[in-house]
Structure 1
């Protein structure tokens, strides 16, 4: 991931406090960034799956596992943790 930029977002208070309690001081932004990276990856996978499903039969288990492996590889290459 390239540089960082500060954003202001609103979160449910209970959720934000649970994250702070889990990650401790200084880890909140990294935790939220990782969660967003994972959500973007899942959204992309959903789009790919939907596109594939309209043009082909349902993906096989092997094809799904291959896609997961690619996502894990891409996620690691971008500096994130394994999915």
Structure 2
């Protein structure tokens, strides 16, 4: 990926806190990642706005269902990671949200 140097102005305390966390070579990488994440959030917001305009507002029940599904997926991924590291099948839950 081609890069180009830019000048930005940041609050000094914020910039110094980041620099102390990431070290001298990680500042640009950190800022790049933060900008990429912000752009992702903006695009996701646009997608949600489109979805709701097309199909109606997302309900609380749909949000609860989505959160439960996300937790089930996270548990499944954790089990798979455990199996990869231990070499043995991990105990399986019922796949339902807790």
Q: What TM-score, normalized to structure 1?
A: 0.68
Aligned residue pairs: how many?
Answer: 63
Unpaired stretches in structure 2, ≥5 consecutive residues: 71-98
Give deviations 1:3-44, integer Å, cap 9, x for gaps: 110000000111000000100111100000001011100100
User: Residue 9 of structure 1 aligns to a residue in which SS?
Assistant: coil
Specify which structure has the bigger relative contact order, considering alpha-carbon pairs within 8 angstroms and separated by 6 or more residues: 1
Provide runs of 4+ in structure 1 moved above 2 Å.
none
Tell me if 1:56 matches 2:50: no
Unaligned runs of 5+ residues in structure 1 are 66-83
Map 1:4-83 onto structure 2 (within 5 A). Answer: 4-57=3-56, 58=58, 60=62, 61=66
**How large is the RMSD of aligned CA atoms in angstroms?**
1.9
Report the TM-score, using the length of structure 2 for normalisation.
0.58
